[in-house]
Structure 1
Amino acid sequence: MKKTNFKKILTAILVVVMCLSVAGCSVSKPNEASNNPGSEDAKIDYPTKPITMIVPYGAGGGTDTYGRMLAAQLEKKLGVSVTVTNQGGASGSIGTKFVHDADADGYTLLFSAETIGTYRSMGTSDLSYNNFIPVALAVNDPKLVVVSKNSKYNTLEELLDDIKANPNKITMSHSGPGGSGHNQGLILKELGYEVAMTAYDSGNNALLGVLGDQVAFTNPNLSFTTGYISSGDVKVLAVFSNERLKSYPDIPAFTEIVPESEKYLSIPLTPLSLLAKEGTPSDVVEILRKATSEAFQETDWVEFVESNSADKLYEKYTDEESMKQFFKNWESMICWLQYDNGVAKNSPEKFNIPKLD
Structure 2
Amino acid sequence: MKDVSRRSFVASAVAGAGVMAGIGQASAQAAYPSRPITMICPWGAGGGTDATVRIVSSLLEKELGQPVNVVNRTGGSGVVGHAAIAAAPPDGYTLGMLTVEISMMHWQGLTELTPKSYSPLALVNEDPPGIQVRADSPYKTVKDLADAIKASPPGKMKASGTGQGGIWHLALVGWMQSMGLPANQVAWVPSNGAAPAMQDLAAGGVDIVPCSVPEARSIIEAGRARSLAIMAPERNPQFPNVPTLKEAMGVDYATGAWRGIAGPKNLPADVQAKLGAALKKVFDSAGYKEFMTNRGFGMTWADAAGFATFMDAGDAKMGIAMKAAGLAKV
- Give the TM-score range, shorter chain: 0.7 to 0.9
Q: Which shifted more, 78-87 or 122-131? A: 78-87
Residues 194, 216 of structure 2: 8 Å contact kept: no
Bigger Rg over Cα: 1
Given that 1:62 and 1:224 are in contact with CA atoms closer than 8 Å, whether structure 2 keeps it comes out as no
The 3-state SS of whatever aligns with 1:220 is strand
Which one-letter code corresponds to 2:14 in the other structure?
C
State how far apart, in whole Å, the 2-side matches of 1:91 and 1:255 are. 32
SS in 1 for 2:69: strand
1:73 to 59, 62, 67: 59
Instruction: Map 1:243-258; keep pairs closer than 5 Å.
Output: 243-258=234-249
**Code of the aligned partner of 2:133:** V
Kindly tell me the number of residue pairs found equivalent between the two proteins. 324
| 1:293-319: CA deviation from partner (whole Å, max 9, x where unpaired) | 1111210212344566765432xx33x
Higher mean C-alpha deviation, range 132-141 or range 276-285: 276-285
Name 1:53's counterpart in structure 2. Answer: 39
Contact 1:240–1:254 under 8 Å retained in 2: yes
- Structure 2, unmatched stretches of 5+, are none
Tell me the distance in 1 between the aligned counterparts of 2:82 and 2:36. Answer: 19
Query: Are 1:272 and 2:259 matched, yes or no?
Result: yes
Which position in structure 2 is the counterpart of 1:335?
319
Q: TM-score, normalised by structure 1?
A: 0.79
1:185 equivalent in structure 2: 172
Q: Residue 142 of structure 2 contacts residue 249 of structure 2 at CA under 8 Å; is this kept in 1?
A: no
Deviation, structure 1 residue 183: 1.3
- After TM superposition, give the deviation of residue 45 of structure 1 in Å: 2.7
Q: In 2 relative to 1, CA 74–41 (structure 1 residues): closer, same or farther, beyond 3 Å?
A: closer
Query: Displacement of 1:108 after TM fit?
Result: 2.0
User: What amino acid maps onto 2:221 in structure 1?
Assistant: S
Matched, 1:19 2:19: no
* 2:49 aligned partner: 63
Q: CA deviation at 1:131?
A: 0.8
Where in structure 2 are the equivalents of 1:97-136 lying within 5 Å?
Answer: 97-136=83-122
| Matched letter for residue 25 of structure 1 | V
Contact 1:59-1:86 at 8 Å conserved across structures: yes
C-alpha contact 2:120 2:305 (8 A) present in aligned 1:
no
Contact 1:56 1:93 in 2 (8 A): yes
Q: Distance in 2 between matches of 1:183 and 1:220?
A: 11
Q: Closer, same or farther in 2 for the Cα pair 1:216/1:334, shift >3 Å? A: same
Partner of 1:350: none
Q: 1:1-357 counterparts in 2 under 5 A?
A: 12=2, 17-26=6-15, 27-28=17-18, 40-41=26-27, 43-149=29-135, 153-164=139-150, 165-190=152-177, 191=179, 192=181, 194-211=185-202, 213-259=204-250, 261-262=251-252, 264-265=253-254, 268-306=255-293, 312-314=299-301, 317-318=302-303, 320-346=304-330
Q: How far apart are the structure 2 equivalents of 1:138 and 1:292?
A: 9
Q: Relative to structure 2, which stretch is displaced further, 288-297 or 139-148?
A: 139-148
* Identical amino acids, percent of aligned pairs: 26
Q: Is the 8 A contact 1:63 1:112 kept in 2?
A: no
Contact 1:58–1:202, Cα closer than 8 Å, also in 2: no
Deviating more after overlay: 235-244 vs 120-129: 235-244
Stretches of structure 1 lacking an aligned partner (at least 5 in a row): 1-10, 347-357
Contact 1:93 / 1:119 at 8 angstroms: preserved in 2?
Answer: yes
Query: Offset of 1:218 from its aligned partner?
Result: 1.3
Identify which range, 141-150 or 301-310, moves more after superposition: 301-310
Root-mean-square deviation over aligned CA pairs = 2.9
